[in-house]
Chain A
Amino acid sequence: MRRAGVLVLVALAIATLPALAPTYQVTLMLPFMAYGVVLLGMNLLFGYTGLVSFGHALFVGVGAYTAAVLTTHLHVRHLEVILPTAALAAAIVAAPVGALCVRYVKIYFGMLTLAFGMVFYTFLLKFYRLTGGDEGMRMLRPYLLGSGWEGLSKTAYLVGPYYYFSLAVLVLATLLMWRIVGSPFGLCLKTIRDNPVKAESLGVSVPRYRWYAFMISAVYAGVGGALLATPTGNVDPTLAYWTHSGNLVFMILLGGFGHFWGPVLGAFAFIYLQDLVMSLVPYWRLVFGALLALIVIAAPGGLMGLLARRRPAEGARA
């Protein structure tokens, strides 16, 4: 019951934030919500299925580029159309990639996903005429609920309608993921993570379930990537670079991969901490690298692990 209370409070705080906080702090919520969606999906693979992808930025890139291509080249401006299309594009890419990757586990899975991510990165970088090369592509302001909100300045649009639209997407994505991990399907994934041999002998098709988890996580990453493109205003190949994938894993670990809310908390902490550190010193990588080392060595459960220490997190496993 206490947990529900906390959730209501957090939801209220987020909903009233644009009215209370300085505009700049509010704009930081936009990448947080986009990454929140990406990481919710990615943790289905990492925390619940036990597969760590080092190439998930691939699907963020697919989502973001889909959104940019739709708005700039194909004149599709409705975000209600863009998000499902980004999800579909991510699913189409993920179907063959996932089918190949899930044949392996552990370091080989990580390496294979990294290689696929770099294939897409090189494609974005080198095929200049299609993708704009290293300059990338502009992402035009999408229509929300059928309106272009032309009366609003860019900032007013972002902290107003776009903020609540992103929030709605994050809430929907969270509710859906909550249903997924609580379903028999989610239980199968956890069984696969803890004991694949036993899962197989119980009649669970391990590769197929891993593939399903991969597909779901890719769709989440595609939607999150499309959401991310608007506040940035521009998409470029670094979205698909391997260090971006590394940062995604970092965010999950920061929040705590053994807990449902870990990835969302991790995205939040990462974005605001990065902003704080960058405002103090120009070397955020140094500080974040040290932080990551500290988490890996001393607190592998992440922030949720520290918060929920009294009660062992559900299904957490180091």
Chain B
Amino acid sequence: MTANLVSILMGGVFHAAILFLVAAGLQVVFGVQKIFNLACGSFYALGAYTGVTAVGYFTGHGGPPALFIVPLALGGLAVGLVGIVVERGLLRFVYDRDETFQLLLTFALVLMLEDLIRMTWGTAPVSTGGLYLSYGQARILGATVPVYNLIVIGASLGIAAGIGWLLTRTAFGRIMRASADNREMAEALGVDMRRMYVRVFTLGTMLGTLGGALVIPATAAMSEMGVELIVEAFAVVVIGGLGSMRGALVGALVVGILRAVAISVYPEVEMLLIYLIVIAVLLWRPRGLFGAAAA
């Protein structure tokens, strides 16, 4: 009984760790640039496919399988640099527009990236093969949990702490929060908004692509994974509150664990339950659990 419960919970926490990364990417971009980036799920898919390719290249060239996580993470981070192209090439034209147009531009990105992925990697699912269990399994309270899951959970917590440190303890983080609070004032005080936006968007993209890369040993990359994940990431940020990092963490845990529990107890309600919670939160506290006070 406990073993069963623990394995369900650990599965949920693993999923939450991935969701947190993508949702954190969504949050930094929304916080500073006020753009709700529907394409964050597509970045996640892009990271997943790149991760598979990077790991395949690494093991194909004699790299020890035990170190596969290195090319995986590096590949995921590197492809996040595509954020620079997207920000300079598309988003910078619409900062002064109505948010409807910004939302639609990111939807255009969703469409384009989905086909770019199909063009590059084909339509069949791809995976890293049997590397998932190459770190073995751990026994926790009678349940077996892949060590890889624990590594990802640890890495995600580390990144959460890192983002917290970046936002509160560094000059860049302070400037970032100031820009999020009041763009005009920050600009008047000499903040180069152009550079700020490029950096923030690239950071957001990299969080998404890294999340995609890290999930991939546990599953297979499919071209629809992006549009499916965005609705979950969306649930996370709505529950946690738009723009709030702490909200992303709590929201990811809520969504990840609830989903895992629902799947094992009553599979029909899986995502239904999550969306109903999203609706309840939007109606009861539209700013989310950790969002800024209503304006």
Interface of A is mostly: helix
Q: Give, as a whole number of angstroms, the nearest-CB distance from A125 to chain B.
A: 9
Q: Of A114, A250, A284, which one neighbours B234 at CB under 8 angstroms? A: A114
Q: Of B38, B98, B100, B111, which one neighbours A285 at CB under 8 angstroms? A: B111
Q: Give, as a whole number of angstroms, the nearest-CB distance from B38 to chain A.
A: 8
Closest residue of chain A to B273 (Cβ to Cβ) is A122
Surface stretch bound by A, among B114-122, B183-191, B204-212:
B114-122
B279 touches A286 (CB 8 A): no
Surface stretch bound by B, among A29-37, A105-113, A143-151:
A105-113
B112 touches A293 (CB 8 A): yes
Which residues on B sit within 8 Å (CB–CB) of A119?
Answer: 272, 275-276, 279
A318 touches B105 (CB 8 A): no
Which residues on A sit within 8 Å (CB–CB) of B278?
Answer: 115
Which residues on A sit within 8 Å (CB–CB) of B112?
Answer: 285-286, 289-290, 293
Beyond A289-B108, A292-B107, A293-B108, is A242–B231 a contact (Cβ under 8 Å)? yes
- Bound form: Cα–Cα A103–B282 in Å: 10
Q: Give, as a whole number of angstroms, the nearest-CB distance from A45 to chain B.
A: 12
Q: How many residues of B contact A (CB 8 A)?
A: 43
Which residues on B sit within 8 Å (CB–CB) of A100?
Answer: 279, 283
How would residues 246 to 273 of chain A score, 1 for a CB under 8 Å from any chain B CB and 0 otherwise?
A: 1001100100000000000000000000
* Residue A288 CB within 8 A of the other chain: yes
Q: Give, as a whole number of angstroms, the nearest-CB distance from A238 to chain B.
A: 11
Q: Give, as a whole number of angstroms, the nearest-CB distance from A289 to chain B.
A: 3
A300 touches B97 (CB 8 A): yes
Interface residues on A, range: 35 or more
Which residues on A sit within 8 Å (CB–CB) of B249?
Answer: none
Q: Give, as a whole number of angstroms, the nearest-CB distance from B269 to chain A.
A: 7
* Residue B150 CB within 8 A of the other chain: no
Q: Of B109, B271, B286, which one neighbours A289 at CB under 8 angstroms? A: B109
Which residues on A sit within 8 Å (CB–CB) of B118?
Answer: 283
* Residue A165 CB within 8 A of the other chain: no
Which residues on A sit within 8 Å (CB–CB) of B282?
Answer: 104, 108, 111-112, 115
Which residues on B sit within 8 Å (CB–CB) of A107?
Answer: 36, 99, 103
* Residue A52 CB within 8 A of the other chain: yes
Closest residue of chain B to A118 (Cβ to Cβ) is B275
4 other contacts beyond A52-B100, A127-B268, A318-B98, with CB at 8 A cut-off? A103-B283, A243-B110, A250-B107, A290-B112
Binding site for B on A (CB under 8 A): 52, 54, 100, 103-104, 106-108, 110-112, 114-116, 118-119, 122-123, 126-127, 242-243, 246, 249-250, 253, 283-286, 288-293, 296-297, 300, 318
Can you show 5 pairs from A to B with CB atoms below 8 A apart? A54-B103, A115-B275, A126-B269, A250-B107, A300-B101
Binding site for A on B (CB under 8 A): 36, 38, 90, 93-94, 97-101, 103-105, 107-116, 118-119, 227, 231, 234-235, 238, 267-272, 275-276, 278-279, 282-283, 286
